[in-house]
A and B are shown apart, each in its own frame.
Chain A
Amino acid sequence: MLENRKWVIIGVFCLVGLTYLARLFYLQVLDDTYSLGASKNSIKRVVEIPYRGQIYDRNNQLIVYNTPVYDLYVTPKQVRIPDTVAFCRMMNITTSEFDSIMGLAKNYSPVKPSLFMRQLSKEDFARIQDALVDYRGFEPVISSMRTYPAHTMANALGYVSEISKKQLEEQDILYYRQGDYVGHNGLEEQYEEQLRGKRGVKFMMQNVRGVNKGSWKNGAFDTLAIAGQNLITGIDVEVQKYADSLMQNKVGAVLAVEPATGEILVSVSAPTYDPNLLSSRFFSKNYRALIKNPYKPLINRPVMASYRPGSTFKLIQALIAQQQGSLYPNTVYGHSGSPMRCHCRGGNNLRGAVQNSCNPYFYHVFRKFLYFNGEHNTFKASAIGLKEWHSMAEKFGIGARLGIDLPSELKGNLPTPEYYDKAYRGALRWKFSNVYSLSIGEGELLISPLKLVNLAATIANRGWYITPHYIKGLNKPGVGVPAEYFERHETGIDYKHFLPVIDGMRAAVSHGTVTPLANIEGIDLCGKTGTSQNNKYGHKFDHSIFIGFAPMNNPKIAVAVFVENAGWGGKAAASVAALVAERYLKRKTEAKKLDEQVKAANYLPPVSRMPVPKKPAAPRKDTVRKTPEAKPLMTATSPKPVAVAAASGH
């Protein structure tokens, strides 16, 4: 009967209803992927990045702070641009750049905001702010940018930029995310954890367009951001900037430390660049230009350059030989018996030998040192002697990393007996006559300006040093400084052995070859010149070195200066060191004439003779003057390679 069909119909209704209930039971109760999907959709982790710590100098002057800037975000789907050309002109980009940015953004998501332009300055933003009303889909987000009011210390500070892919993958604790800023090189990298603070996380609810809709569960799972700590350094910015100006048109390094504390007062790498260049949104453009610069302004020469110490090494020779007992203050050596030439009259005692930097004297000192062990076989004696020499010289922090608070310190080289065994393919196949150039700091020795300033500080302290370091405190002076920067490293040299050496150093400045160039009244500078042989371009292009400290008694500052290619002797370097010491001690420069001379000197090697940079094509000779990248960016005048080449007489 047809009436019974109502049961079929009701049955169908119930069947569909039960099917749907089963499906709903599966979706809602059994399968939990959907609830994850919903929270992924609508709960956004908003990372709050705290302000990065600022960096101060020892006198509470700001070196680095944060400027608020605006990152412009774009949501492609909402974008309405009536006139793309006008928009691009306003944003100062080309239409093809615009297209590629928009393409990337669309690729990421048409409905979620992605970065359109980073770090618009307040001024730029003010300029476009009104016009932006007409262009829908663009949203400014406040952010911050590193700013360097002193325009100095670029190399020691490093820079802050987006984290690299490699760093992102290599991190142990997953802290950083794509697009995060992180310190690179220098102090920014060294003190990254302290400076960056701790990120906060807020859970926000958002709608389908990514618009915030308030906090989730009233912020029960949020964590607050902790601001970064301010880094107080031992740098004296005023002196630092002065040293920068002295090093214009020169390649090299100036380092000064306070001997009693090991705090670095001045850290100049020349040529340098304005650190602000690498914090702007033109980072990659500026970075490429710096990489291509033949004078390599990105190298932090105080710790990354290796030179032969030259005559400055004679100070160590004098000290360890006395300690060994093979040298006395009144020991006299003449020029005879030495293959080395010398410009002095000979017949010096130790003080005179230091004052005049007598090569033959130290030839004899080193010879005696190596053979001062009762061994008659000269090969065996040399091996034993060099081992002793190595272990004593090592105590000055040479041949290993000192442990400065920078990530890029080089080891340098202090040759061991094994080193020569290898070089001469077997033990006992070399002796003093093979290695004598070590006596005057040449040969296989390699040393960084950092180690030389440490040597100056060690002598200033008469026997000990504290590892040079930049940090003076976190937030407050003296707080948060690693314990190693309070630790005294003894060299094992008795106090009395320093006295003739220091006498000689004082005399070298007051009555020696550099007197007119370095003996500034009232600062009592003690020093030692050096020439680091640089056979690459002939001796005219040897590096000039000077290390010293002042005043002689109770020294306040130890300085090491390298000026590359400035020629023989410590003349160029000595003047810089003396002027830096004067400025630090007197807070003013009285040696005006010297100051002018130094600033005017140009020791930049001709670009045509520079080693060829590896990746970008070397600038050809005829294009040098046209290529702006060839200029060191901080030098006031452009390099004049032709003039230098003419003066060199080659």
Chain B
Amino acid sequence: MSLSRTNDPFAQHIDWLTLVLYLGCVTMGWLNVYAAVYSPEDHTSLFDMTTNAGKQMMWIGTTVLLIICILVINHKFFDSFAYVFYAFMILMLLLVLVAGSNINGSRSWFKFGAFSIQPAEFAKVATALALAKYLDVPGMNLGRTKELLRIGGIIVLPCILILASNETGSTLVFASFVIMLYREGLPGWIPALGISVAALFVLALVFPKLYIFAGIVVLYGIIVLLMPRYNRTTRNLLSMAMIGAAMMALVTGVDFFVNNVLQKHQRNRIKVLVDPTIDPLGVGWNVTQAKIAIGSGRLQGKGFLEGTQTKFDFVPEQSTDFIFCTIGEEHGFIGSMIVIALFIGLLSRIVILAEKQRSKFARVYGYCVAGIIFFHVMVNIGMTIGLMPVIGIPLPFFSYGGSSLWSFSILLFIFLRLDSRRTALMRR
């Protein structure tokens, strides 16, 4: 391949569908940030730089510059410097623990004047690149424990540092790499086990332990009865009994975990998820008000800038983590449906593009992008509608905030840059 081809104008090779979906998300996000901070008394301007909406406009502007930079950089750059980025991010995460400013009880921000930057947001990008680089070797077998441990190491290292700065939400995002690993050959039972554990965890919170134990025993009996006779070997029965016992132990452990390991606000968030009616004015305030905001939107919504819940500050964090409430209230079920469809479309498009990549590096990276965005969307929207515990992570492209907009845009456009290289090659 020649130099001239790689320097083809990127406009010809970029995936326009993804770009349109992206622009749709960002524009809707900006308008909803405006709606969330809008005050009917002083007719807040969309471009008022003192409000979140005005600042978001500036963030969008800088993001466009960033995107242009990414698209003109040689695609090799990301491949070659993947580990450098990773190392740099680890350094930043260490630095922020020492020199960062304390915002809302977490020491995870660098402050520059009126603006602050959260390195944890960018750690996702660097980790995705590092993972892509690591997996981009022929013969990589994810069934091997040694490889799994190394990959786990790459993921866990930034996790520990982010956890140390008290950003539990951002740490949990790293679980999303499982999606990529699954695609790359991670045995299916590992994610299945993870989901089962999570399900048991929730069950243990909702129902008394005794019921769950009884349920496990009954389930065991049913499975044994349904098993083909030739499969009912002592070994099989015994290993199944072991699994059952482990489940019971897990359920017993949940109480201990919730009461002794989790911090108080985390414990409360889980309690609220289980029973939203407890303490609606205190612990349950966020969730209750968020549900009222979304629920009161009905089918068509109250109209742009007409939402009383968001406009009058009933929903906390409404331009950042609870931005979906504004959408739900002002644009109703139709608006919510459009947003969810937008995300499902974007995610599916990324997966399809990733699958088309010739280089493994680009494919792995693409699945990482899809996984990270999916996890954010699932948790963020889930918490506003009471299906997930309240975890403070932003809704990609929608939530107000420079770090999150920058990091998600960088994440996505590095992939689009890698992808444009593929189409450029195909055109040849």
Instruction: Report how far A28 CA is from B336 CA in the complex, Å.
Output: 10
Q: Enumerate chain A residues within 8 angstroms of B378, measured Cβ to Cβ.
A: 16
Q: Enumerate chain A residues within 8 angstroms of B317, measured Cβ to Cβ.
A: none
> Which A residues between 15 and 44 are near B, CB-CB below 8 angstroms?
16-17, 19-21, 23-25, 27-29, 31-35, 37-39, 41-43
Instruction: Report how far A39 CA is from B294 CA in the complex, Å.
Output: 13
A13-B348, A24-B337 given as contacts; is B299 within 8 A of A29 (CB)? yes
A2-B185, A9-B370 given as contacts; is B314 within 8 A of A24 (CB)? no
Cβ of A25 and Cβ of B333 under 8 Å apart? yes
> Which A residues between 448 and 483 are near B, CB-CB below 8 angstroms?
none
**How far does the Cβ of A118 sit from chain B's closest Cβ, in whole Å?**
26
Cβ of A205 < 8 Å from any Cβ of B? yes
A21-B337, A21-B340, A23-B385 given as contacts; is B299 within 8 A of A6 (CB)? no
Most buried by B among A21, A33, A34: A34
Interface segment among B115-123, B247-255, B305-313, B396-404: the answer is B305-313
Cβ of B179 < 8 Å from any Cβ of A? yes
Cβ of A41 and Cβ of B295 under 8 Å apart? no
How many residues on B have C-beta within 8 angstroms of the other chain's C-beta atoms?
49
Q: Enumerate chain B residues within 8 angstroms of A9, measured Cβ to Cβ.
A: 179, 182-183, 351, 367, 370
Cβ of B291 < 8 Å from any Cβ of A? yes
Sorting the interface of chain A by its residue count into under 10, 10 to 19, 20 to 34 or 35 or more gives: 35 or more
Instruction: Report how far A79 CA is from B293 CA in the complex, Å.
Output: 28
Cβ of A5 < 8 Å from any Cβ of B? yes
A13-B347, A28-B297, A38-B292 given as contacts; is B308 within 8 A of A23 (CB)? no
Kindly report which residue of chain B lies nearest to residue A27, judged by CB atoms. B295
> Which B residues between 153 and 186 are near A, CB-CB below 8 angstroms?
179, 182-185
Instruction: Report how far A181 CA is from B209 CA in the complex, Å.
Output: 56
Cβ of A20 and Cβ of B381 under 8 Å apart? yes
Cβ of A23 and Cβ of B387 under 8 Å apart? yes
Instruction: Report how far A206 CA is from B40 CA in the complex, Å.
Output: 11
Kindly report which residue of chain B lies nearest to residue A37, judged by CB atoms. B292
Kindly report which residue of chain A lies nearest to residue B371, judged by CB atoms. A9
Q: Which of A2, A13, A27, A213 contacts B312 (CB 8 A)?
A: A213
Kindly report which residue of chain A lies nearest to residue B288, judged by CB atoms. A37
Q: Enumerate chain A residues within 8 angstroms of B39, measured Cβ to Cβ.
A: 213
A42-B314, A207-B313 given as contacts; is B308 within 8 A of A35 (CB)? no
A2-B185, A28-B332, A205-B312 given as contacts; is B295 within 8 A of A13 (CB)? no
Cβ of B374 and Cβ of A13 under 8 Å apart? yes
Q: Enumerate chain A residues within 8 angstroms of B183, measured Cβ to Cβ.
A: 2, 5-6, 9
Cβ of B298 and Cβ of A10 under 8 Å apart? no
A20-B381, A28-B333 given as contacts; is B314 within 8 A of A208 (CB)? yes
Instruction: Report how far A79 CA is from B340 CA in the complex, Å.
Output: 43
Instruction: Report how far A20 CA is from B380 CA in the complex, Å.
Output: 11
Q: Enumerate chain A residues within 8 angstroms of B295, measured Cβ to Cβ.
A: 27-28, 31, 33-35, 37-38
Cβ of A29 and Cβ of B298 under 8 Å apart? yes
Q: Enumerate chain A residues within 8 angstroms of B291, measured Cβ to Cβ.
A: 27, 34
Instruction: Report how far A542 CA is from B349 CA in the complex, Å.
Output: 107
Cβ of A128 < 8 Å from any Cβ of B? no
**How far does the Cβ of A215 sit from chain B's closest Cβ, in whole Å?**
11
Q: Enumerate chain A residues within 8 angstroms of B336, measured Cβ to Cβ.
A: 21, 24, 28
A2-B183, A20-B382, A33-B295 given as contacts; is B313 within 8 A of A28 (CB)? no
Cβ of B69 < 8 Å from any Cβ of A? no
Q: Enumerate chain B residues within 8 angstroms of A32, measured Cβ to Cβ.
A: 298
Kindly report which residue of chain B lies nearest to residue A205, judged by CB atoms. B308
A14-B344, A25-B333 given as contacts; is B308 within 8 A of A43 (CB)? yes
Cβ of B63 < 8 Å from any Cβ of A? no
Cβ of B297 and Cβ of A6 under 8 Å apart? no
Q: Enumerate chain B residues within 8 angstroms of A39, measured Cβ to Cβ.
A: 296, 308
Cβ of A35 and Cβ of B385 under 8 Å apart? no
Q: Enumerate chain A residues within 8 angstroms of B386, measured Cβ to Cβ.
A: 23
Cβ of A3 < 8 Å from any Cβ of B? yes
**How far does the Cβ of B221 sit from chain A's closest Cβ, in whole Å?**
29
Q: Enumerate chain A residues within 8 angstroms of B182, measured Cβ to Cβ.
A: 5, 8-9
Cβ of B308 and Cβ of A38 under 8 Å apart? yes
Q: Enumerate chain B residues within 8 angstroms of A6, measured Cβ to Cβ.
A: 183, 351-352, 354-355
Cβ of A38 and Cβ of B299 under 8 Å apart? no
Q: Enumerate chain A residues within 8 angstroms of B299, measured Cβ to Cβ.
A: 28-29
Instruction: Report how far A99 CA is from B295 CA in the complex, Å.
Output: 39
Cβ of B294 and Cβ of A41 under 8 Å apart? no
Cβ of A496 < 8 Å from any Cβ of B? no
Cβ of A209 < 8 Å from any Cβ of B? yes
> Which B residues between 306 and 361 are near A, CB-CB below 8 angstroms?
308-309, 311-314, 328-329, 332-333, 336-337, 340-341, 343-344, 347-348, 351-352, 354-355
Kindly report which residue of chain A lies nearest to residue B332, judged by CB atoms. A28
Kindly report which residue of chain B lies nearest to residue A35, judged by CB atoms. B296
Instruction: Report how far A37 CA is from B288 CA in the complex, Å.
Output: 10
Q: Enumerate chain A residues within 8 angstroms of B385, measured Cβ to Cβ.
A: 20, 23-24, 27
Cβ of A219 < 8 Å from any Cβ of B? no
Q: Enumerate chain A residues within 8 angstroms of B348, measured Cβ to Cβ.
A: 10, 13-14
Cβ of A24 and Cβ of B294 under 8 Å apart? yes
**How far does the Cβ of A554 sit from chain B's closest Cβ, in whole Å?**
69
Cβ of A41 and Cβ of B309 under 8 Å apart? yes
Q: Which of B296, B333, B351, B354 contacts A38 (CB 8 A)?
A: B296
**How far does the Cβ of B317 sit from chain A's closest Cβ, in whole Å?**
13
**How far does the Cβ of B412 sit from chain A's closest Cβ, in whole Å?**
16
A6-B351, A23-B385, A42-B312 given as contacts; is B374 within 8 A of A28 (CB)? no
Most buried by B among A14, A31, A38: A38
Cβ of A214 < 8 Å from any Cβ of B? yes
Cβ of A3 and Cβ of B355 under 8 Å apart? yes
Interface string of A378-409 (1 = CB under 8 A from B): 00000000000000000000000000000000
**How far does the Cβ of A208 sit from chain B's closest Cβ, in whole Å?**
4
Cβ of A24 and Cβ of B333 under 8 Å apart? yes
Instruction: Report how far A341 CA is from B206 CA in the complex, Å.
Output: 96
**How far does the Cβ of B386 sit from chain A's closest Cβ, in whole Å?**
8
Instruction: Report how far A3 CA is from B341 CA in the complex, Å.
Output: 24
Kindly report which residue of chain A lies nearest to residue B387, judged by CB atoms. A23
Instruction: Report how far A33 CA is from B296 CA in the complex, Å.
Output: 8
Instruction: Report how far A39 CA is from B336 CA in the complex, Å.
Output: 21
Kindly report which residue of chain A lies nearest to residue B183, judged by CB atoms. A5
Instruction: Report how far A19 CA is from B387 CA in the complex, Å.
Output: 10
Residues of B within 8 A of A (CB): 39-41, 179, 182-185, 289, 291-299, 308-309, 311-314, 328-329, 332-333, 336-337, 340-341, 343-344, 347-348, 351-352, 354-355, 367, 370, 374, 378, 381-382, 385-387
The 16 listed contacts between A and B (C-beta, < 8 Å) are A2-B184, A6-B183, A13-B347, A13-B351, A14-B344, A14-B348, A24-B340, A25-B333, A28-B294, A34-B291, A35-B295, A39-B308, A41-B314, A42-B314, A43-B308, A213-B311
Contacts A9-B367, A27-B295, A42-B312 supplied; 7 other A-B pairs, CB < 8 Å? A6-B354, A13-B348, A24-B337, A28-B297, A28-B299, A29-B298, A208-B312
